[in-house]
């Protein structure tokens, strides 16, 4: 992962997504996030865990949500930065300041009243949904998992729970 800001943004929002859709993974989330920061490709490649079903002799494949949430949030972060660049070209420095504050936005429980940022508008949230959905599908999630992850991600970005 790139900068410290990117890591903080991705990790904070991915943690909220994991808490919403796979709370059983929270205990290991910090270690997964740190490994992802060092080598995202390796973590994504190893995101499937094999658990032998007791007494059956069968292997059940379980896709871990944490690495996928981190990868999806990384894609969303990149999208938001690209949009900030486009807005700078279009609006000048004033537009960049507003978008940058939105990108750096902390989850609602960490933001104080002085850090209040206007919410994303529906068009922006729809584009974030598209980016997140495409990345989650590319990582092999089922449609049900994609839907759960995207709903939790948008809620995190929009300041909801």
Reference 156, options 11, 35, 5; nearest CA is 11
pLDDT surpassing 80 at residue 22: yes
Band (120; pLDDT cuts 50, 70, 90): confident
**Tokens 């859709």 found at:** 21
pLDDT surpassing 50 at residue 53: no
pLDDT attached to residue 62: 43
pLDDT surpassing 50 at residue 66: yes
pLDDT attached to residue 100: 66
Q: How far is CA 62 from the centre of its chain?
A: 20
Q: What value does the mean pLDDT take over residues 106-123?
A: 54
Q: Which has the higher per-residue pLDDT, 121 or 52?
A: 121
Angle of CA points 157, 148, 11, to nearest 5°: 45
* Maximum average pLDDT range among 47-51, 54-58, 68-72, 89-93: 68-72
Q: What value does the mean pLDDT take over residues 53-72?
A: 64
Contact between residue 141 and residue 63 where contact means Cβ atoms under 8 Å apart = yes
pLDDT attached to residue 130: 95
Q: Which has the higher per-residue pLDDT, 99 or 152?
A: 152
Q: Which has the higher per-residue pLDDT, 117 or 14?
A: 14
Mean pLDDT in the chain?
Answer: 77
């Amino acid at each position: 992962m790139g900068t410290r800001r990117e890591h903080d943004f991705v990790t904070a929002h991915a943690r909220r997504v994991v808490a919403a859709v796979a709370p059983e993974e929270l205990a290991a989330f910090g270690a997964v996030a740190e490994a992802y920061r060092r080598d995202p490709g390796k973590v994504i490649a190893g995101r499937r865990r094999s658990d032998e079903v007791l007494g059956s002799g069968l292997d059940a494949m379980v896709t871990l949500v944490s690495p996928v949430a981190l990868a999806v949030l990384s894609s969303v972060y990149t999208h938001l930065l690209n949009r900030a660049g486009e807005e700078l070209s279009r609006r000048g420095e004033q537009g960049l300041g507003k978008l940058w504050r939105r990108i750096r936005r902390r989850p609602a429980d960490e933001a104080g009243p002085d850090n209040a940022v206007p919410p994303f508008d529906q068009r922006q949230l729809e584009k974030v949904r598209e980016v997140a959905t495409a990345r989650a599908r590319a990582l092999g999630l089922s449609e049900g998992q994609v839907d759960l992850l995207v709903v939790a991600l948008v809620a995190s970005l929009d300041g909801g729970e």
